[in-house]
Amino acid sequence: MNVAIMKAALSDRTLIENLLQLYVYDFTEYTDASIGENGVYQIMPDFESYWSDESSQQAYVIKANGEIAGFMMTKEKDETQSDHVLSHFFILRKFRRMGVGRKAAACLLKGSDRAWELCQLEGNIPAQKFWDQIIDEVSYGEVKIKRENGRRYQNFICK
């Protein structure tokens, strides 16, 4: 399967905002997020900052064989030793277990020669297994893991 990631343009904002509804819905398995009275989940508080010209945050659209397959969002982090944070990562169910997520994540991380941080909810064991495999593939093997506020954080440097 051909997988491509593209930096999201301002014109992709509505697309990602719509995909965020599915993303939040998937997380309800692990969180207590409730849908609003209008049938829409609340968008994350920092969403607007991804669309500012001065932002150190970046959104990406993931496509598989030319079809929208998901998104990922990154930001710079200055208060830790990590240069970048992979803050949100979502693959539509249709494309899961087909290597789309693995290829998209590896494409972003491989060759970046940077420190990264990402996290998963403590109860989201499938995500932890997924990211353990990706990090093993793209890093030098030294991964710092910490657990805090119901999340499992991983810090690593890419090859």
Domains of the chain: 3-157 (3.40.630.30)
Count of CB atoms within 10 A of residue 16's CB? 24
Q: What phi, psi does 115 have (nearest 5°)?
A: -85, 140
Q: Which two tokens stand for residue 157?
A: 């440097």
**pTM exceeding the 0.75 threshold for the entire prediction:** yes
pLDDT tens per residue, the chain (159 residues)? 999 999 999 999 999 999 999 999 999 989 988 999 999 999 888 898 888 866 688 999 999 999 999 999 998 876 554 588 999 999 999 999 999 999 999 999 986 777 899 999 999 999 999 999 999 999 988 899 999 999 999 999 988
